């Protein structure tokens, strides 16, 4: 008995799906050609000054002749552009929806660093689909060839997007403040990344520190807990002192490192940038995973 042939439209659809699968496999397997250093800056909870650290750290790195690209990866509630007093016409939602390439939405910030602004108030972007990840990150990788350091300002907490961007970065820097809830949530973030995403190496930045000594004590307390309960390495990158000049800068939509370079906080950002430059980069994970 002769088998009935499959309809032509079914065959075409099957071929298209196969081609798409092959494309995803090729992209997922490609190693990143760029030498850009990919650093995710993250936190267990909001309100710890993470975005302010990203902005000032990026600016401080440009003052050390580094080409910096910052990605506001808090996709549904981005505010990096607001912090810097920028008014971008387009944002990451236009890339996710296939309307633009990521290079089309980049804006220039202080120190000539490039900013990729997120959207605000678009709830669907808090859960990227696989197709959106492919579209976003394949476009993003093309920009990495022209930068030295790529900073990812993740959202706070343990959402799928936060986990995704952290696990794809070469280095994960966790921002913590002296508040007990911040410390607890920082531990929870590292625990989830370790147990469910196989991350074993983290760096810590203490923000709003009263003194360098108190910042060091906070790090040692947190490291004591991670050493006891998690099989990870927690390295101390540094601290940023509590400084009223930072609040003044935020109100003016300016970075303290730019408007008050001799303030205590600005000197801390410069020290953090220098430490990053002086510390060898972690081995690359080979680029972003698309699925």
Is the confidence at residue 288, as pLDDT, over 60? no
Tokens matching residue 250: 């935020």
> Across residues 230-245, what is the average pLDDT?
97
Residue 151 in contact with residue 193, Cβ under 8 Å? no
User: How sure is the predictor about 13, in pLDDT bands with cuts at 50, 70 and 90?
Assistant: very low
Tokens matching residue 17: 């799906």
What pLDDT shows up at residue 136? 75
User: How sure is the predictor about 99, in pLDDT bands with cuts at 50, 70 and 90?
Assistant: confident
What pLDDT shows up at residue 26? 45
- Per-residue model confidence as pLDDT tens digits over 250-277: 999 999 999 999 999 999 999 999 999 9
Question: 41: closest CA among 170, 165, 169, 174?
Answer: 174
> Does the predicted model carry a pTM greater than 0.75?
yes
User: Between residues 95 and 273, which one has the greater pLDDT?
Assistant: 273
- Structurally, at CATH architecture level, domain 35-278 sits in 3-Layer(aba) Sandwich (3.40)
What pLDDT shows up at residue 285? 67
What pLDDT shows up at residue 205? 98
User: Between residues 87 and 147, which one has the greater pLDDT?
Assistant: 147
User: Between residues 157 and 12, which one has the greater pLDDT?
Assistant: 157
234: CB partners within 8 A, 6+ apart: 190, 202, 203, 204, 219, 222, 223, 226, 227
What pLDDT shows up at residue 135? 72
> Across residues 239-247, what is the average pLDDT?
96
């Amino acid at each position: 008995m002769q088998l009935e042939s499959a309809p032509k439209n079914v065959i075409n659809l099957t071929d298209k799906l196969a081609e798409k699968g092959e494309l995803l496999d090729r992209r997922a397997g490609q190693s990143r050609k760029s030498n850009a250093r990919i650093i995710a800056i993250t936190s267990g909870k909001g309100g710890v000054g993470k975005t302010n650290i990203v902005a000032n750290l990026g600016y401080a790195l440009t003052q050390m002749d580094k080409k910096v690209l910052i990605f506001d990866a808090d996709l549904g509630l981005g505010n990096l552009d607001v912090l810097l007093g920028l008014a971008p016409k387009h944002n990451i939602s236009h890339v996710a929806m296939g309307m633009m390439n990521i290079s089309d939405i980049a804006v220039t910030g202080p120190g000539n660093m490039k900013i990729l602004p997120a959207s605000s108030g678009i709830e669907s972007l808090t859960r990227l689909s696989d197709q959106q990840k492919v579209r976003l990150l394949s476009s993003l990788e093309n920009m990495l060839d022209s930068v030295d350091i790529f900073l990812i300002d993740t959202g706070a907490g343990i959402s799928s997007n936060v986990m995704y961007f952290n696990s794809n970065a070469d280095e994960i820097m966790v921002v913590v403040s002296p508040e007990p809830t911040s410390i607890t949530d920082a531990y929870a973030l590292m625990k989830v990344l370790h147990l469910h995403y196989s991350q074993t190496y983290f760096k810590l930045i203490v923000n709003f520190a009263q003194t360098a000594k108190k910042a060091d004590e906070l790090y040692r307390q947190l490291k004591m807990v991670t050493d006891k309960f998690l099989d990870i390495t927690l390295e101390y990158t540094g601290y940023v002192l509590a400084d009223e000049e930072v609040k003044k800068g935020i109100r003016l939509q300016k970075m303290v490192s730019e408007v008050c370079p001799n303030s205590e906080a600005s000197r801390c950002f410069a020290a953090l940038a220098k430490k990053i430059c002086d510390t060898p980069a972690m081995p690359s994970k080979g680029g972003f995973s698309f699925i």
